[in-house]
Amino acid sequence: MVKVNTNFQRLPGSYLFSTIAKKVSEFSAANPDKQVIRLGIGDVTKALTPTIVKALHDAVDEMGQDATFRGYAPDLGYDFLRHAIAENDYRGKGCDIADDEIFVSDGAKSDSGSIQELFSADSRIAVTDPVYPVYVDSNVMAGRTGLYDEKAGKFEDVIYMPATSENGFSPEFPKEEPDIIYLCFPNNPTGTTIPKERLQEWVDYANRIGAVIIYDAAYEAYISQGDVCHSIYECDGAKTCAIELRSFSKNAGFTGLRLGFTVVPKELKRSGVSLHDMWARRHGTKFNGAPYIVQRAGEAVYSDAGKAEVRGLVDYYMENARVILGGLKDAGYEVYGGVNAPYIWMKTPKGLDSWGFFDYLLEKANVVGTPGVGFGPCGAGYFRLTAFGTHDNTKAAIERIRSI
């Protein structure tokens, strides 16, 4: 009789955003007259921009004719997109990244879940607390953690690095030595950043102890302050210790199209083995490439018109961030983030815990957010709102929250 992967049984409940979606559907079914505003999951609401839509249409037309039809995409990504990414996101910004160090994928979520496959089962992971749940859950599934301690809200054998208002959301180096360090800046869920000099310290630390940093930069397009790195490769020595994950979802609105990429520098080696070669091997075996039409749309993001349109999308959502941040501050809430990121992290009021505030807000204001504790125990007593709504919904949500 087959045995299942019992590591899955260590995972408590369902995936955070599935739990929230279920609660909201139940509420809506019981209250069909209520107009619920969703500022929970970080999903975009603005349509794809004209340049992207044209690139998609053109690529569909190519696929509709024998002469220009494409079958399987190259598993590591089409050269035209790898080149556009390396040139625009890296070399044009002073980071020496080659085209073939870019691995195109169907999104940063898949890559952030899969990247752990490169490391041995006994590697220790370190994550910030709170943290995007995929980093931890994917390591639980792979058997790299101990059991879940319900009371502490933590997995055994995972190093949690608190990021709270007390330390300015800038985690300390852990006391125990990690092998894999997950960092995400601008941060999901707190919407906060660290200055370049602190990121440089993380890079130096990882190189010193031989760890690898998995750097999730999915929200880099939202950075507005000068001392924050858009890429970890702006730090000296990052190419020997860091893998970077990027997404087209949050800047260009590709949440439904699916496109992302991972940068694995050739200089990154551990035990004499090239992680670049390992990731290429893994991609070749498990992935048949992101769709041609979507990669052409990704290429269009880097055209002059595409860049201007993406800037417009980011500005649109950041206007929401300003409305949320300002509105909540005026109303006396303690709020963080929202300056270099489309997330606002607030302290829950009235002595309510994170899920208590979730229920209260849904019930009284018909507004959905994300309970901070869902991202880890240090998220207890916090709540996340996303700036990815429409202007009208965002304004209405803040008015409702202010009035309860």
Interacting residues toward ligand MLT by CB under 6 A: 41-43, 109, 188
Place of tokens 């041995």: 120
Q: Give 203 or 335: the residue with its C-beta nearer to ligand MLT.
A: 335
- State the Cα angle at 215 between 51 and 175, rounded to 5°: 160
Peptide bond into 189 cis (omega under 30): yes
**Least distance (Å) between residue 218 CB and ligand MLT:** 7
- Residues 27, 362 contacting (CB under 8 angstroms): yes
**Least distance (Å) between residue 305 CB and ligand MLT:** 26
**Least distance (Å) between residue 387 CB and ligand MLT:** 11
**Least distance (Å) between residue 147 CB and ligand MLT:** 25
Q: Give 14 or 120: the residue with its C-beta nearer to ligand MLT.
A: 14
Q: Give 327 or 342: the residue with its C-beta nearer to ligand MLT.
A: 342
Residue 266 to residue 98: CA distance in whole angstroms: 9
Q: Give 327 or 372: the residue with its C-beta nearer to ligand MLT.
A: 372
- For 59, 184, 385, the CA distances from 108, given in Å and listed in that order, are 23, 12, 21
Residue 323 to residue 329: CA distance in whole angstroms: 10
Which tokens hold the place of 397?
Answer: 């949500």
- Report which residue's Cβ sits closest to ligand MLT: 42
Which tokens hold the place of 116?
Answer: 């752990």
**Least distance (Å) between residue 42 CB and ligand MLT:** 3
**Least distance (Å) between residue 272 CB and ligand MLT:** 34
Q: Give 95 or 387: the residue with its C-beta nearer to ligand MLT.
A: 387
Place of tokens 């749940």: 133
**Least distance (Å) between residue 151 CB and ligand MLT:** 25
Q: Give 145 or 188: the residue with its C-beta nearer to ligand MLT.
A: 188
Q: How many CA atoms lie within 13 A of 373 on its CB side?
A: 15
End-to-end CA separation in angstroms for the chain? 56
Q: Give 164 or 188: the residue with its C-beta nearer to ligand MLT.
A: 188
Q: Give 263 or 341: the residue with its C-beta nearer to ligand MLT.
A: 341
Sign of the torsion formed by the C-alpha atoms of 222, 226, 229 and 230: positive
Q: Give 133 or 178: the residue with its C-beta nearer to ligand MLT.
A: 133
Which tokens hold the place of 71?
Answer: 């079958």
Q: Give 83 or 109: the residue with its C-beta nearer to ligand MLT.
A: 109
**Least distance (Å) between residue 244 CB and ligand MLT:** 16
Q: 49-66 burial, b if ≥16 CB within 10 A, otherwise e? A: bebbebbbeebeeeeeee
Identify the CA nearest to 220 among candidates 108, 304, 115, 127. 108
**Least distance (Å) between residue 124 CB and ligand MLT:** 24
**Least distance (Å) between residue 43 CB and ligand MLT:** 6
Strand partners, 335: 346
